[in-house]
Amino acid sequence: MKFQPDKNGYYGQFGGAFIPELLHPNVKELEDNYIQIIESETFQKEYTDLLKHYVGRPSPLYLAKRLSEKYGATIYLKREDLNHTGAHKVNNTIGQILIAKHLGKTKIIAETGAGQHGVATATVCALMGLECVVFMGETDIKRQAPNVARMKMLGAKVIPATSGSKTLKDATNEAIRYWIQHPDTYYLIGSVVGPHPYPDMVARLQAVISEEMKKQLKEQTGNENPDMIIACVGGGSNAAGAFYHYLEEEQVALIAVEAAGLGVDSGESAATSQLGEVGVIHGSKTILMQDAYGQIVEPYSISAGLDYPGVGPLHAFLHETKRATFMNATDSEALEAAFELTKTEGIIPALESAHALAVLPKLSLKENQTIVINLSGRGDKDLETYSKHLER
Ligand SMILES: *Cc1c(COP(=O)(O)O)cnc(C)c1O
């Protein structure tokens, strides 16, 4: 089980829990209980029932015929875009809210960048009748007004982070500060990042994606293994979920796609594996974009979900061991791919997911190959950006 973390949460040299002393009891409580809770019959029943009847799982595995013809391979789309709230994020928030309830917590805090994770968290808090506080950078609050309105309508309190660049990393710092002061709260993290056990816990909750993929591929092709799985990477949760049950199947190629923004070397990018170095961010050792003084470099991408300055420790390890191939796509390549999918299949993807689609022309695929692309979310939230590029 090479790709499972050790008991201290390390994947090779990456992971661990670098947290202030005051948070130890909180993190330890979670660490001591999360696997037992996840594997319990009660949790499994509640989790699967909600995924089925509330989220709408299993999400379809769709054979994209016209896209396949264009690229000369058999291409399937794993339709996470069809989940309630429009992306894969809800798989994680449903799981963690149940874990919080098992731990007897009544108040939830979360950080959010573009607001997608904030909305997914506010949604499950409304569902469970729990109090919800979301930290969001002041700059992001201005840029992402519709998601702020959604969170408020769902009953969440949105607290602006006013330090630093007033974006995701500042919101995360605020959330951690609040958590230290209110140790009775549950911190619901939105990706495979943060101190152990979060990366492993979130990967296990997103693993439902590859669990379903195996069954669906077996049904539709007779073989549960594709030749290749492609997923975009911000923090890495949708990719972790799509890769999870294939990590030890070395014959399945795993492709992780990062956002190159205006170009990897343009200074306006979020291609962490290309630009990052080993360091500590948000409580775990991983690769992150930093300057010569170890200060975090502000990432950039057209897609708000991918402009995170690090990747989770599992992905740092997949990169280092070359188990996954890291590729990237620029803003304009992602836009191109989004319009292409819309016109060939009638599916408007999230800008994040469009990055995964954008590597298709770079892969020289063969006719007998089966490819699965994880379509992490739908594009409704990105229409304003898309509408600026309709004349193409
Ligand atoms: C948040 C988000 C991502 C990026 O997050 P990961 O943790 O890397 O999956 C990708 N796609 C969509 C649709 C998102 O909302």
Q: What's the pLDDT tens digit per position in 317-361?
A: 999 999 999 999 999 999 999 999 999 999 999 999 999 999 999
Q: Which residues sit opposite 58 in a β-bridge?
A: none
Mark whether 191 is an active-site residue.
no
Mean pLDDT of all residues belonging to the chain: 96
| Cβ(235) – ligand 1 distance below 6 Å | yes
Q: H or E segment at 120?
A: helix 116-128
Q: How do residues 260-298 score in pLDDT, each as one tens digit?
A: 999 999 999 999 999 999 999 999 999 999 998 988 888
Please calculate the CA angle 104-107-112 and round it to the nearest 5 degrees. 130
Q: Which of 89, 105, 169, 285 is catalytic?
A: 89
- Does 183 have pLDDT greater than 90? no
Full-prediction pTM beyond 0.75? Answer: yes
In Å, what is the CA distance from 59 to each residue of 84, 244, 343? 10, 16, 22
Q: How do residues 192-207 score in pLDDT, each as one tens digit?
A: 999 999 999 999 999 9
DSSP 238-282: HHHHHHGGGTT-TTSEEEEEEEEET-TTSS----HHHH-EEEEET
Mark whether 376 is an active-site residue.
yes
| Cβ(194) – ligand 1 distance below 6 Å | no
pLDDT of residue 392: 65
pLDDT of residue 391: 78
220 versus 294: the higher-pLDDT residue is: 220
C-alpha dihedral (35, 36, 40, 44), degrees to nearest 10: -20
Average pLDDT rounded to a whole number, residues 213-226: 98
Q: Please, what's the b/e burial string for 89-100 (b: 16 or more CB within 10 A of its CB; e: otherwise)?
A: bbbbbbbbbbbb
- Does 1 have pLDDT greater than 90? no
Give the distance (Å) from ligand 1 centre to CA of residue 91.
Answer: 12
State the pLDDT confidence band at 186, using cuts at 50, 70 and 90. Answer: very high
- Answer whether the bond into residue 20 is a cis peptide, omega within 30°: no
Q: Kindly report the backbone phi and psi dihedral angles of residue 276, in degrees, each rounded to the nearest multiple of 5, phi listed first.
A: -85, 165
Q: In what order do the strands lie in the sheet with 186-187?
A: 157-161, 131-137, 107-112, 186-187
Region label for 236, one of left (φ > 0), alpha (ψ between -120 and 50) or beta (otherwise): left
- Does 6 have pLDDT greater than 80? yes
In Å, what is the CA distance from 220 to each residue of 3, 58, 223, 365? 28, 15, 8, 20
- Does 143 have pLDDT greater than 90? no
- Does 92 have pLDDT greater than 90? yes
Give the mutation target among 191, 315, 319, 351 for probing the ligand 1 site: most ligand atoms within 8 A of CB: 191
pLDDT of residue 340: 98
- Does 130 have pLDDT greater than 70? yes
Query: What residue's CA is closest to ligand 1, atom 13?
Result: 377
Give the distance (Å) from ligand 1 centre to CA of residue 299.
Answer: 15
- Does 223 have pLDDT greater than 80? yes
pLDDT of residue 378: 96
State the sign of the Cα–Cα–Cα–Cα dihedral 238, 87, 355, 230.
positive
Average pLDDT rounded to a whole number, residues 107-133: 97
Query: What residue's CA is closest to ligand 1, atom 1?
Result: 305
State the pLDDT confidence band at 102, using cuts at 50, 70 and 90. Answer: very high
Indicate the burial class of 70 (C-beta count within 10 angstroms; 0-12, 13-18, 19 or more). Answer: middle
| Cβ(116) – ligand 1 distance below 6 Å | yes
- Does 93 have pLDDT greater than 90? yes
Give the distance (Å) from ligand 1 centre to CA of residue 88.
Answer: 7
Residue 41 identity: E
| Cβ(237) – ligand 1 distance below 6 Å | yes
Q: How do residues 158-180 score in pLDDT, each as one tens digit?
A: 999 999 888 888 899 999 999 99
Query: What residue's CA is closest to ligand 1, atom 14?
Result: 305
Give the mutation target among 116, 301, 380 for probing the ligand 1 site: most ligand atoms within 8 A of CB: 116
Average pLDDT rounded to a whole number, residues 365-371: 96
| Cβ(382) – ligand 1 distance below 6 Å | no
How many Å apart are CA 229 and CA 211, to the nearest integer? 13
| Cβ(371) – ligand 1 distance below 6 Å | no
Mark whether 89 is an active-site residue.
yes
| Cβ(118) – ligand 1 distance below 6 Å | no
How many Å apart are CA 15 and CA 188, to the nearest integer? 18
Give the distance (Å) from ligand 1 centre to CA of residue 22.
Answer: 30
Give the distance (Å) from ligand 1 centre to CA of residue 239.
Answer: 9
pLDDT of residue 307: 84
> Relative to the CA of 237, which ligand 1 atom is closest?
7
- Tell me if 155 sits within 8 A of 125, measured CB to CB: yes
Question: Mapping DSSP to helix (H, G, I), strand (E, B) and coil, where does residue 310 land?
Answer: strand
Contacts of 286 (CB under 8 A, 6+ apart): 14, 15, 193, 278, 279, 280, 310, 311, 312, 313, 315, 316
State the pLDDT confidence band at 308, using cuts at 50, 70 and 90. Answer: confident
pLDDT of residue 294: 87
| Cβ(89) – ligand 1 distance below 6 Å | yes
Give the mutation target among 198, 237, 351 for probing the ligand 1 site: most ligand atoms within 8 A of CB: 237
Give the distance (Å) from ligand 1 centre to CA of residue 238.
Answer: 6
Give the distance (Å) from ligand 1 centre to CA of residue 233.
Answer: 7
How many Å apart are CA 176 and CA 105, to the nearest integer? 17
| Cβ(314) – ligand 1 distance below 6 Å | no
